[in-house]
Homo-oligomer: A and B are copies of this chain.
Amino acid sequence: MAVRLTDVANEAGVSLATASRVLNGSARKPAVEISDKVRAAAEKLGYFPNAQAQALARSTTKLIGLVVRDIADPYFSTIARGVQRSLGDSGVQLLLASTEYDPEREIEAVQAFMSQRTDAIILSGSRSLGENGQLLKLIENYQENGGQVMIIGQPMTDMGGIQIDNEATAEHLAAELISAGHRRFVVLAGEANLLTSRDRSNGFLEKLKRSGLDAEEVISGPFSREGAYVAMSDYLKRQKSAGGVHRVCVFCVSDVMALGAIRAIRENRLRIPEDIAVVGFDDIPTLIDITPTVSTARLPLEEIGKWAGEMALNHGELRKIVVSGVPVLRESTQLADGQ
């Protein structure tokens, strides 16, 4: 249907091989005169190389796959932007898959990318890695066939990627809060079987313990805005019926959860930080518009995406980058008497 290279070659009165060399680069350089003729023909006919045919012939697709949990979540969309930007004009195209928090779909996404013969797969926010042997086996298969895998967030031996030191960062965050004067903490810990979730709450709790403190409560629940909203609402209700809410600092293992918690707090007509302090984790761009400004641990999300993308491009050196977050205390954890 579409214009083929053959058509261009005919139009220009040269061979297929020559046309190929002119249009799609090669070591051998055809004469300028011929090159011009070919290019003119391509232009005239409206030729666009068939990427699938090229991929088949070259056995490399210039395709990379990114799997996220939810592209509308600022955490993932910021990473996605970073990946996009890293691609620049490398000519590499990005295939996007959303798992919608479903391990099943995560596997399907990887399978689809394998079928597409993507040169690399960037896995962010994996849910099943580590628990699910199936995904791991899939990935091994992929790697054996020359595919590169970059994991964002999870520390995995044997693969490159951006490892986020959630535990140390959470500890650091706890330390800052303590030295800012906070003593009573509640932790919205997310899901215990999610590594990210677990590392963050563990790191935080660990630091508390080593400082002679103890969380008043550690509440598990879905690793989502809604989950945090429910958990927080529930917590407040319990507090109220137990005599009243006392001042605590609520650590949420993600900013998105912090937003859910904040909403619950607001609906209970409590003030932040006067009645309850809130801290998140990630520093998603969205925070910039929240009042009061929200304390968090800043992760260079866009950079992380960019690094992952660069690693995907550099078909060679698999590196492993370890990123630590930086505590950023803002209004949401400001103590009344503090400056």
Contacts and interface: CB of A to CB of B under 8 A. Distances in A.
Interface of A: 1-2, 46, 48-53, 55-56, 59, 61, 70-72, 74, 77-78, 80-81, 84-85, 89, 91, 93-98, 100, 108, 111-112, 114-117, 141, 145-146, 259, 262-263, 266, 285-286, 288-291, 302
Contacts of A85: 98, 100
Contacts of A51: 52, 115-117
Contacts of A100: 85
Given A74-B77, A286-B289, 9 more contacts: A48-B115, A52-B56, A52-B117, A81-B98, A93-B112, A93-B116, A94-B95, A95-B96, A96-B96
B74 A74 contact: yes
Contact of A48 (B48, B84, B111): B111
Most buried by B among A77, A85, A100, A289: A289
Given A51-B116, A77-B71, A145-B2, A97 B95 contact: no
Nearest to A50: B117
Question: What are the 10 tightest A-B residue pairs by CB atom distance, in nearest-first order?
Answer: A72-B81, A77-B77, A52-B55, A2-B145, A52-B52, A51-B115, A96-B96, A84-B98, A48-B114, A72-B77
Contacts of A74: 72, 74, 77, 286
Contacts of A286: 74, 286, 289
Contacts of A95: 93-96
Contacts of A108: 89
A53 B56 contact: yes
A78 B84 contact: no
22 contacts: A1-B146, A2-B145, A50-B115, A52-B56, A56-B56, A71-B71, A71-B81, A72-B80, A74-B74, A74-B77, A77-B77, A77-B80, A84-B97, A85-B98, A85-B100, A89-B108, A94-B97, A263-B289, A266-B291, A286-B286, A289-B289, A290-B290
A46 B141 contact: yes
A130 B114 CA distance: 39
A328 B320 CA distance: 48
Contacts of A116: 51-52, 93
A286 B263 CA distance: 13
Most buried by B among A78, A91, A117, A145: A117
Contacts of A97: 84, 93-94
Contacts of A77: 71-72, 74, 77, 80
A60 to B, nearest CB: 10
Given A81-B98, A94-B97, A289-B259, A115 B145 contact: no
A145 B1 contact: yes
Contacts of A70: 81
Contacts of A96: 80, 84, 94-96
Most buried by B among A55, A77, A81: A77
A7 to B, nearest CB: 12
Contacts of A53: 52, 56
A306 to B, nearest CB: 12
Most buried by B among A111, A145, A266: A145
